Structure 1
């Protein structure tokens, strides 16, 4: 097979903000896109006004292969990618979230190169050992051990009970504002899981313990037909969306179980078979950035090196 025709599936909502799209388009201009790659900007939960703003920005970039489409609401990013997969005829999809952007030249060509081999099903640029089940609790443990000052308005107080543990989590006031923001996100996510059903969300059934090696579903190239085969249930709650990334039935695990090769493209442009003992983590590793970045990886690299080392040991290999 010659180099495959591919589509960059970029999902964005109006609530994500136009600045993220500007950053993404600027990065496409800076780092270029292969002539064999189309770009689909999928608008979800967006107004006509936002649509017109997007059209103007796309026109200014002068990248001819960009298309703009509206997609159904719901389903989170993975549902958007599935919608594009079933409504296109490309060989490979490159999945990107609103905050994703390439980090080097020839980035899409590097992701697509190995698809010339018939058994390769996925090539990902963000390898992680994180587990939702353990990393949130370990992050909370870090909060308590750090003895950081806690302040929060009463209306934002978050209380949840998960796995029999009562959690009272508040936004933390520290010099690293990025970390503070991430900790509040952790707290909110815990509540999402707790409210998923009448019973507390069961981490044991859906998420492995740390270490939990998997490819994050941003900056990942996957055969279109394989994605369609794997996504058999469009998620309706956030926890279900996370399951496709890092749960027992994740895209990584499903592809491997179906007999496909899954490759990791490291920051130094080497390819590793998934599970290779020499594989290097490419997400939240001090002083190492990945070929595709997103808000989480960029936030991590804005922290000082000491904090990077602490967080990389707590939730990542």
Structure 2
């Protein structure tokens, strides 16, 4: 790679498999909202073949931004590309954006880096979450198990709150005919509603079985239960030296990427185990520490009006029905969110309650040693 012109590299992932529309959207947002911080713009072209039309089109979209270019194949995932780029680049600070990322306000990069340079800060991001893949899968698995295995009749309340999930995993349950729905309604009138609590013990045994090592959902043991604070990887900034000082397993699969983002040894967990802060930076320029995230008005919070850099998941949330949004808020923020938004969600006996210890410091020690860093945190940049 060439010698850096600036201390900061803004690294944008252009993945062929996602098409060209996200590149056009990113470019429009990048040009509409100046970052406010001098940087080298780096594009990772992932999965493109040399001289193929798609690559030429991608170049045509981004070339006027004068990028430094890295080419990699489509093996691995986004995080694979980020770590590969970090090893090749020589910048002091790196800010990573995924293919769907779009800045939402002027001086967005400056706001991120000003917070990163505060003493004691180890990582910053535009969005974060308390979600646990383990806890969310427990809930969603029970929904599927009740519908597909136990054959409970169509329940309009479950439909309203879990439609997006059932459409993906068990559309046949949603597609029950009107006649079937009428019969089910008669059964409810005669025999009463299905009491989901009657299934709790049987499901608990099922869940314990499938989450054993080697089980169908054995991977769940790699994640904290809720709350599981982590910076989302759609947009995050970190010292290059700090990122490379961490010890991660080989990141190749989607599950490896989930572990990097929110597993026991996630990048956020390793930062916090060194006594450093993980901040969400809003459009307002404020850096919110872990216990303040639910007040940040960012990812799946209120109208998300304070999101500094959006992505496809931020935008998708706005397209859900009010009931589906409530379910996502519950899985993301649990009882830390406004209970008026989540108290009607049928949780089927699953809870997403507060656990302060998980916010103070991760309860599980990192599995990989954390070597000492030989640089001090950067000071705040004035103004």
Asked whether the equivalents of residues 75 and 234 of structure 1 are also in contact (C-alpha less than 8 Å), the reply is no
Instruction: Determine the structure 2 residue equivalent to 1:58.
Output: 62
Asked whether the equivalents of residues 138 and 315 of structure 1 are also in contact (C-alpha less than 8 Å), the reply is no
Query: Does the alignment pair 1:236 with 2:252?
Result: yes
Deviations 1:157-204 (Å, cap 9, x if unpaired)? Answer: 99xxxxxxxxxx324769xxxxxxxxxxxxxxxxxxx9xx96434245
The alpha-carbon distance between structure 1 residues 84 and 45, as it changes in their structure 2 partners (threshold 3 A), is same
Query: Does the alignment pair 1:5 with 2:7?
Result: yes
Distance 2:293 2:18 in 1: 38
Instruction: Determine the structure 2 residue equivalent to 1:170.
Output: 170
Deviations 1:15-59 (Å, cap 9, x if unpaired)? Answer: 110111111111101112345112211111112322211111123
Asked whether the equivalents of residues 285 and 312 of structure 1 are also in contact (C-alpha less than 8 Å), the reply is yes
Query: Does the alignment pair 1:43 with 2:59?
Result: no
Question: Which SS does the other structure have where 1:275 is aligned?
Answer: helix
The alpha-carbon distance between structure 1 residues 226 and 24, as it changes in their structure 2 partners (threshold 3 A), is same
Asked whether the equivalents of residues 74 and 236 of structure 1 are also in contact (C-alpha less than 8 Å), the reply is yes
Structure 2 stretches lacking a partner, 5+ long: 1-5, 148-154, 176-209, 335-383
Superposed CA RMSD in Å reads: 3.0
Distance 2:10 2:125 in 1: 13
Distance 2:317 2:293 in 1: 25
Structure 1 residue 306, shift from structure 2 partner: 4.3
Asked whether the equivalents of residues 223 and 263 of structure 2 are also in contact (C-alpha less than 8 Å), the reply is yes
Asked whether the equivalents of residues 40 and 68 of structure 1 are also in contact (C-alpha less than 8 Å), the reply is yes
Instruction: Determine the structure 2 residue equivalent to 1:258.
Output: 274
Instruction: Determine the structure 2 residue equivalent to 1:178.
Output: none
Query: Does the alignment pair 1:291 with 2:308?
Result: yes
Distance 1:306 1:231 in 2: 40
Structure 1 stretches lacking a partner, 5+ long: 152-156, 159-168, 175-193
Distance 1:277 1:122 in 2: 14
Q: How does 1:95-134 map to 2 (within 5 A)?
A: 95-134=96-135
2:224 paired residue among 192, 208, 211 = 208
Asked whether the equivalents of residues 128 and 299 of structure 2 are also in contact (C-alpha less than 8 Å), the reply is yes
In the comparison of the two structures, how many residue pairs are matched?
A: 275
Question: Which SS does the other structure have where 2:85 is aligned?
Answer: helix
Distance 1:285 1:98 in 2: 23
Distance 2:126 2:293 in 1: 17
Instruction: Determine the structure 2 residue equivalent to 1:303.
Output: 320
Distance 1:81 1:43 in 2: 11
The alpha-carbon distance between structure 1 residues 171 and 93, as it changes in their structure 2 partners (threshold 3 A), is farther
The alpha-carbon distance between structure 1 residues 198 and 70, as it changes in their structure 2 partners (threshold 3 A), is same
Instruction: Determine the structure 2 residue equivalent to 1:247.
Output: 263
Structure 1 residue 121, shift from structure 2 partner: 1.8
1:14 paired residue among 13, 16, 20 = 16
- TM-score, normalising length: structure 2: 0.64
Instruction: Determine the structure 2 residue equivalent to 1:163.
Output: none
The alpha-carbon distance between structure 1 residues 227 and 257, as it changes in their structure 2 partners (threshold 3 A), is same
- TM-score, normalising length: structure 1: 0.77
Distance 1:119 1:72 in 2: 36
Structure 1 residue 206, shift from structure 2 partner: 0.7
Q: Which has the larger radius of gyration?
A: 2
Asked whether the equivalents of residues 16 and 98 of structure 1 are also in contact (C-alpha less than 8 Å), the reply is yes
Distance 1:278 1:148 in 2: 27
Instruction: Determine the structure 2 residue equivalent to 1:81.
Output: 82
Query: Does the alignment pair 1:269 with 2:285?
Result: yes
Q: Which moved more, 1:296-305 or 1:77-86?
A: 296-305
